[in-house]
Every structure is written in structure tokens, then in C-alpha cells.
Structure 1
Amino acid sequence: MLKASGSLELARTASRVALSLAPILFIKNRRLKKWLQKDLPGMEEKRPVILKKIRTRTILFHILIMTPIVLFWATIIASLERTPLTGRWRLILLSPEEEDQIAAQLAGEGWYQAVGEILASQAEDEKVPTPIPATDWRYQWVQSTLRRLESVVPVLQDEKKLSPSWLETSPDDVQLPPPADYPLRPRPRASEYLKMFSDMTCGKRSKHTPDHAPHTITGPPYSLLLVDNPNSSNAFSYGFGPDGGGGIVVYNAFIDEIMNDPELAPSTTLQESEESSWWSYIFGSILNANHQPQHPVPSPEQTNRLAVLLAHELSHLILSHHLESLTSSSIVLPGLLSILTDLVRTLMFPVTMFFGPFVNDAVANMGKIGSGEVTKLSVLCTTRIQELEADVVSTRLLAYAGFDPHSTVKFWESRTPTVYGDLSECATWKEDSSSARDAEGDRLPYKTALSLFGSTHPMNDTRVGALTKELLRWSAEKEEALVRLQAEKQPEKQKRSG
């Protein structure tokens, strides 16, 4: 019940009621206490009645003050959950019904419409990037690589059962990760938790965890859009929900960068067969019209480079980072800052009331401006935390899909730090027209777009360090598991020999 955006609005309304009535109760109690100090005729007879009024108003005063505080923190606690795979505590203040509404809006063509608005808002005065058709070899290459990564998403739901061979890999094989402590499983509804709690209180020990709600399963296939923009070598993920409610947008400049990278193995060119060329020579344009144009065939190294980027963006989708960012930027922070602004205005009212409504309006406008800046800074820092988390999870996707997870380190080392931001300065916000529209609330899709290379990706040294630490943890846990396994086998060998 409390896990909903309306709960925070209820706490805000309760705080406004409390801030309106609490000063009145406080002032009246102060007056009654002053009357008690005076030696007036008949005061002794009225003292018990006055004391009773003071106690009643004091209790009511505390109830008014504590109600919004309890509501706010109860809502926050009810909305806390562990992020799958990493175990990070996060806040998603959306009810299952609200999540269903978001997913329904983005399902099917809704995702492409929302992404179109994002691209249009970024283009400003420039030409809006045009989509590359699905028949293009670049689109087919990106799509096949994405589908290969998507095929291993179910493994993350139960790695111990679906990937038991992580200890049996040799140094020449692709290193597999140890099973995560927090599998990628859908979140049950609150009603299912209540049912489980009632069974426990009634002495019925449930043998099963709550059934998973269908609405929370947001797996593949995801939508894909490849756009023609030679000036942007980047990509971003956006959305939530099944039926293509989430997806990835890739700019073709990144494809060109991969194909032209001299450090990667060069691609080969798709050649026509000798027989088809001979017939083409005889019949000329009659058969040439049916031939597909030649195109390069990406090498495994180039595909691996593409997979690193796609796995990073895919991690945002499977972790539902869109919902987390939406909660932080559009619900929690605005609600909290509104409560704090109301509190400041109430405390300042005894002073500002002497200066008329213009000063009160100025204080209110200052609160709006300040809340907008704080929201932007918080979104920036939160998004960069998600970037590091997506990096770590992407290594699992790459490993299970047969790609080298260690290539993520080399990939981010090769990126230009000045282009992809600096994690050490979360308080830095690049003012541009799109962020200005974001502060005004005119572009909600842009607010929740994730993984845009540039202002949101963290400093490469930090993300490279996090990736290196994660891969070293894999090796350390594998060694520890092998030692434990060897120790368990020793008693069995001794029994057999005895």
C-alpha cells in the first residue's frame, strides 16, 4: 500500500496540514501557560481544566508533527529493495499498477515514439537523425549481437542451476563468474508478501517464496534502433516493460569507429560466388538487379567490441534503472524538497508576513529554483552509480554469451575521458538547452533516458578500476571454491582408502 507515488504525496499533504495547525496549537499552549503563571481570581478552580487543554493540545501537536514523518519514512522503507545481481539497496517508489501503466505506454510503437522525442530534443536546431532500416547489414549485425546477449539473460535468474560449470573452466576458456548472491528475479507484489506474512503468523510455514508477478518480468526481446548520426559515437538505453517497452539506441558513428579501428582485426568483404559473377557477366543487369550489394563482414574482435557496448546498455534494462531514475528525479526528490520548502516558509512566515505577498512569492520561487538544481545534481550522481553497476553486470552477460569479459577493461581504457565525463565531480552539471528543459519538466522522456555517453558516463579510471576489481573477485572466489571442494573430497578419499 505504501509502495506507491501517491504515498509520498499523502505525506506531503499531511506535512502541510501539520505546518498549518501546529503553530496555532503551539501559540495557544504558550498563552495558557502564561495565564497559569498569573495570580488571577478563580485561577485555582480553572487550573485543572487549563492543564487538561494543554495536555490535549500537546498530544495533538506531537501527532501532527509525527504523522508526516512516519508516513514519509514508512513509504521509503516499504519501497527499498535489493538491486538484482549486485545487491545494492535502491528505492523504487512505484506500485505494480503504476509500473504496468509505464510498461503499457512504452510497449510496441510507444517505445519508438518516446525515443523519437528524445532524439528530437537532442537535435535542437540540427537535423533529427534518421533511422537505419532493418535490411542494412549494420542493423542486422547489431541485432544479432544483441539477441546473442539476450539469450543468456535467463541464466542470471538461477546461475547455480543453469551455470554449474563455472569451476570447470580452463585458463583457455572464457572465464565464467561465480553465482550472484542476488539472482535476477522479478519482484513480488505487496499483497503476496502480506499473504506470506499472514501464513507465518498463523503458524503456516510457507515452503515457497511469493509467486512472481507477471508484470515484473521485463526480459527480452528488447527494441533496437540504429540511427544515422556521424557526429555521435555513442548509444543509450531507455524504457521498461515487456513487448519491446525497453530498448537500445545505437548511433552509426560507433559502428564506423569499430570498423575503422586499426587495433582490431580487419573485417572481410562479402564476395559473390564465381558462378554468379559469370552469369552476371553474360546477362548483365538482369541478374545484377537481384544481387545484394557487397558489405564488410565484421571480425570476431569487432563483434566483441560491439558486444561490450550492448551488454552495458542491456544491463541498464534488465536492472530496471529507468524506474529507479524516474523515482529519484520525478517523485522522491521533488516531494522531499517540497516538504522542506514548506517547512522553511513556515518558519520564515513571522518575518516575511510583514513584507507582503511579494516576499512570500519570492521565497517560494527560490525554493523551486533550488529544488530544480538539487534534482539535477542528484540525477547526475545517481545515474553514474548506475553506470558503474551496469559495467559490472555487463561482464556477466558477456561471459555467458561467450565473449571475453576482460575486454571490458580494454574497451573503457580506450575511450576518451574528456568525452565521457568525470565521476569524481558529481556536483558538476553541464548546462545546455536539454538540461534546461529538464529542469522545467517539459521533457519527461529526456529526464529518464539513460546511458548517454557524454555527461553521464563516469570517469574511465573509476570504471576501469571497478571492472578490474570485479574480475579479480571472480578469480579469488573460484580459488576459494576449489579449495573448499578439495577439502570436502579429502574425507571421502580417506574413507575409501580405509
Structure 2
Amino acid sequence: MHLRFADIHGIPGAEDKKLKLLQRIRKRTIFFQVLLAIPAVLFWLVIIASMERTPLTGRWRLIILSPEEEDDLAANLAGQGWYNAVGDILAQDGPPRFIPYNDWRYRWVQDTLRRLEATVPILMKEIDRCPEWLESDRPMPPPAEYPLTPRPRASEYLRSFCEKMCDREVPPVAHSIPGPPYNLLLVERPDALNAFSYGFGPDGGGGIVVYSGFINDILARIPMDTSTPSPPQPQSWWSSFLGGPPPPRQFVPTEKHTSELAILLAHELAHLLLSHHLETLSSATVIIPGTLSIFADVIRVLIFPVTMFFGPFVNDAVAQLGRMGSGELTKVGEYCTSLKQEHEADVVSARLLAHAGFDAREAISFWEQRALSATECAHAESIDPASSDEPISKSERLIRRIAGTGHPVNEARVDKLKSELVRWETERRAALARSRLSPEERRSNINLTLA
């Protein structure tokens, strides 16, 4: 009002005061906008800094856990900690009965797992350690664009950046994957036809649990080789002298039995190698709840001018509605994460099987058969939460509508695995065609590509 009055009556200096006032208003507006932008910028900087490429597949994923939190998690699971954690999980269905280490089934599963773990060094340098992938008579994977390497730490990134700024050679990172050899437990449970993996970190921080129902299912479906004699079981002299009961019969698994067992073990081993447990923990405890909490608070602030007239009861009802909605959205996020990890583990398990000497094509028939048996076994538990007999939840229906597909999850996994094997063969043929070109033809192809 004062400036307007001075402008009307021609008071000198009014224009300068007006300009100064407008400048102050503009500066305060910019300062207020910067204050509003700081949380958003920090939020997205944390998101970008936490992004990383998944080994072997190259999928972008988000893990928001500090190195100290990862070290604490690995320390809690190291040694006896993994057995305690898995024991608590198994105890939810009653006291578990474990198959002893001297049982032939345990030795068979352990030998198969160690055979698969022996391929881990190959995954770190496939180009150098697997040059025969072009001439193999069975499907072999092309060298991965993103090899299996240890997850880098923030301190390693900072040290590498400083070394490059000083024009010094960057020291190599230790090329060892923490984890193998992994722990193994066999649980006596005939009604469970599956296995699961759990854990993260070195010193026995991860492992696999296999149920006896899966082993029994393999032995029942595939005929045994009767031509191979079973090795004699050790018997004490006291039992031999008194004619005690004969020792339990020991089966000799065939290569077909071992192949079916290896497919399931390779799937669970892929979960461990890709640190899916860490990704799930980060998503379920940090990313999804934190993001939903931020959006819920923002929405409550925006609608508060309307709800404040109706008293605290309406505000409490809105907050309760937000918690219920966030719970459903959390389930949707966890289901999406699990689905991506299952597809990823299938693809990586095919690579493990191929390097271990198995035929990766048998994984397709294995998962197709598992999709059929999941509908026949009323009490069979599935590796994939969506492949059981339980009715599909609203969250899963929502995800399938968003994805534009109504196909069962097992069919989608089989299709993904088939497309991966087709990609192997396509790249193999392309590499063979390039290898047969003369140097002049290779140069001409490069020039055509660049043009």
C-alpha cells in the first residue's frame, strides 16, 4: 500500500524501493524452492547411488543397505548362525527331523551341489575358462556381458576414483565370491517337494535346504538302474554274529536322477550367487515401506485442510486406510521382486548346469513337469509362491493385469527359459559365422556396421 501510494503521488525513490522489494521476494521464493528441492534431490541421489547391475543378467536393481548393515547381516549368519536362523524357519511347521550326514541321500545331494559350485570360477571369466562353447554338442552359454564379480563397496569406488584422479594404477579388487562352499541341510518331510535357499555372506552365511519329498519324487518317477550293484553297507561284527536286521537298502542314483536334482540345486544356488536374499531384505524392509511412508505423509498433508474440519476421528480413519493400502502395495512389491528373482535364477541356473556338464535343455522339461505336479499334489509346496494350489490373491491378479498376461507363473518361467536357450544358439551361430570370415571380410563388416 505504501509503494502504491508513493507511486500515485509521485514520491521520489518509490521505484527503487519497489525493485528492491521484488528482488527480496524473488530471492525468498528461490530459497523456498531450493528448500523444497533438497529432500527430493537427496532422495534421488540415494536411489541412483544404490543402483547396481546384477551379475550375469545385467538387470538393474536397488539395494539400500549400508556396508555396516551388510557386514552385521553376514556376521549374524556366519558359522552356527545360519543353522539357527534356518532352524527357526523350519520350526514354524513343527520340530524338524534332519537327515544325518552319513545317509546316502545327503552324500548324493552334497556331491551334486559341490559339482555345481565348482563352476563358480568359470562364471567369473567365461571367455578365458570356457573357450569351447562354440564347438560343444550340447547348449553352452555365450560369455556373459556382466561376469560374476564380488559386489563393490562404496569405499572401493571412492578409492578407484581417487587413484584415477592421481593418474595412478587402480589396484584390482579381490576376485573371490564370498559364500561357496555353501551349507546344506536335508529335512525329512515327504509331503514337501521342493527346496529353498537362505543367507548371505562368507563363512557359511548361506546355504540350501532340501526336503526329502523332492528326493522321493525323483526316485519314484525315474526308474532305477538295476544293473549297477548297490555298494555294501557297513555292518558291525556283533550284528553279523547274532544275525541282526539287514541294513537299509541303498539306491544308486543314475545320471538322470542326478540331473533332476542338479536342476533344483542350480536354481537355489543361483539365488545365493546373485545375493537375492540381500535384495529381498532391502526391498521389504527399506525401499517399499520407506517410499510408501513418504507418499502417505504427503497425501495426508495435502488433504489435511479438508479433514481437519471433521475432527481427529476422520484423520485416524484416513491414517488407518493408508496403512491398509500400504500393506497391500507392500505385498505387490514383494511379489514383483520375487517374480523377477525366480526368472533370473532360472536363467542363471541354466548357465550353471551347462558348465557343470549337464544338459540345460532338461531344465525345460523339469519345470514343465513341476508345473503339472503342482496341481496334482494337494500338500506339495512350490519353490514359486504363485505355483501352489492356494487361490490367487488380489495382489497377484493386479500384477498379472498390469503385466498384460493371464498365464500361470510357471508357464512364464518356462517361456523365459526357452527364450534364453534360443538366445544361446543364436549367438553361437553368429559367432561361428564371424569366425569363418577372412580378415578382409571382417574389416568390411565392421565398416558397414560403423556406416
TM bracket (short chain):
0.7 to 0.9
Match of 1:98 in 2: 69
Conserved 8 A contact 2:179-2:204: no
Match of 1:435 in 2: none
Match of 2:83 in 1: 112
Match of 1:176 in 2: 140
Conserved 8 A contact 1:240-1:320: yes
Among 183, 191, 206, which residue is 1:231 paired with? 191
Q: Does 1:331 align with 2:286?
A: yes
**Cα distance, 1:288 vs. partner?**
6.5
Cα deviation code 1:392-451 (max 9, x no counterpart): 10011111111111110010111135555659xxx95389xxxxxxxxxxxxxxxxxxxx
**Cα distance, 1:295 vs. partner?**
1.1
Amino acid in structure 2 at the alignment position of 1:234? N
Among 301, 311, 314, which residue is 2:256 paired with? 301
Cα deviation code 1:143-168 (max 9, x no counterpart): 11111101111110001111112123
Match of 2:101 in 1: 134
Q: Does 1:150 align with 2:114?
A: no
Please give the TM-score of this superposition, normalised by the length of structure 2.
0.83
Match of 1:222 in 2: 182
Q: Following the alignment from structure 2 to structure 1, what is the Cα–Cα distance between the partners of residues 211 and 4?
A: 80
Q: Does 1:382 align with 2:382?
A: no
Q: Does 1:66 align with 2:37?
A: yes
Q: Following the alignment from structure 2 to structure 1, what is the Cα–Cα distance between the partners of residues 86 and 408?
A: 23
**Cα distance, 1:291 vs. partner?**
8.2
Cα deviation code 1:62-86 (max 9, x no counterpart): 1221111101111111111111001
Conserved 8 A contact 1:225-1:248: yes
Secondary structure at the counterpart of residue 72 of structure 2: helix
Conserved 8 A contact 2:189-2:213: yes
Q: Following the alignment from structure 2 to structure 1, what is the Cα–Cα distance between the partners of residues 31 and 430?
A: 59
Match of 2:269 in 1: 314
Q: Following the alignment from structure 1 to structure 2, what is the Cα–Cα distance between the partners of residues 378 and 102?
A: 22
Conserved 8 A contact 1:147-1:221: yes
**Structure 1 residues 298, 38: CA separation in 2 closer, same or farther (over 3 Å shift)?**
farther
5+ unaligned residues in a row in structure 2: which ranges?
Answer: 376-381, 396-406, 443-451
Task: Give the count of matched residue pairs.
Answer: 414
**Cα distance, 1:297 vs. partner?**
1.2
**Cα distance, 1:342 vs. partner?**
1.0
**Structure 1 residues 249, 288: CA separation in 2 closer, same or farther (over 3 Å shift)?**
farther
Q: Following the alignment from structure 1 to structure 2, what is the Cα–Cα distance between the partners of residues 491 and 406?
A: 34
Q: Following the alignment from structure 1 to structure 2, what is the Cα–Cα distance between the partners of residues 180 and 303?
A: 26
**Structure 1 residues 235, 166: CA separation in 2 closer, same or farther (over 3 Å shift)?**
same
**Structure 1 residues 430, 232: CA separation in 2 closer, same or farther (over 3 Å shift)?**
farther
**Cα distance, 1:103 vs. partner?**
0.6
Cα deviation code 1:173-231 (max 9, x no counterpart): x43211111000012222222233234344x164x5x63368x8323011111111122
**Cα distance, 1:267 vs. partner?**
9.1
Among 413, 422, 427, which residue is 1:477 paired with? 427
Secondary structure at the counterpart of residue 436 of structure 2: helix
Amino acid in structure 1 at the alignment position of 2:173? H
Q: Does 1:193 align with 2:157?
A: yes
Cα deviation code 1:297-336 (max 9, x no counterpart): 1111011100000000000000011111111111111111
Amino acid in structure 2 at the alignment position of 1:296? F
**Cα distance, 1:248 vs. partner?**
0.8
Among 332, 340, 350, which residue is 2:295 paired with? 340
256-265 or 240-249, which deviates more: 256-265
283-292 or 472-481, which deviates more: 283-292
Please give the TM-score of this superposition, normalised by the length of structure 1.
0.75
Match of 2:404 in 1: none
Q: Percent identity?
A: 53
Q: Does 1:414 align with 2:369?
A: yes
Conserved 8 A contact 1:148-1:401: yes
Match of 1:81 in 2: 52
Amino acid in structure 2 at the alignment position of 1:466? K
Conserved 8 A contact 1:264-1:301: no
**Structure 1 residues 153, 335: CA separation in 2 closer, same or farther (over 3 Å shift)?**
same
Q: Does 1:211 align with 2:172?
A: yes
Conserved 8 A contact 1:268-1:296: no
Q: Following the alignment from structure 1 to structure 2, what is the Cα–Cα distance between the partners of residues 183 and 75?
A: 25
5+ unaligned residues in a row in structure 1: which ranges?
Answer: 1-34, 432-456, 493-498
Amino acid in structure 2 at the alignment position of 1:470? E
Q: Following the alignment from structure 1 to structure 2, what is the Cα–Cα distance between the partners of residues 291 and 175?
A: 45
Q: Following the alignment from structure 1 to structure 2, what is the Cα–Cα distance between the partners of residues 180 and 61?
A: 49
Q: Following the alignment from structure 2 to structure 1, what is the Cα–Cα distance between the partners of residues 143 and 242?
A: 54
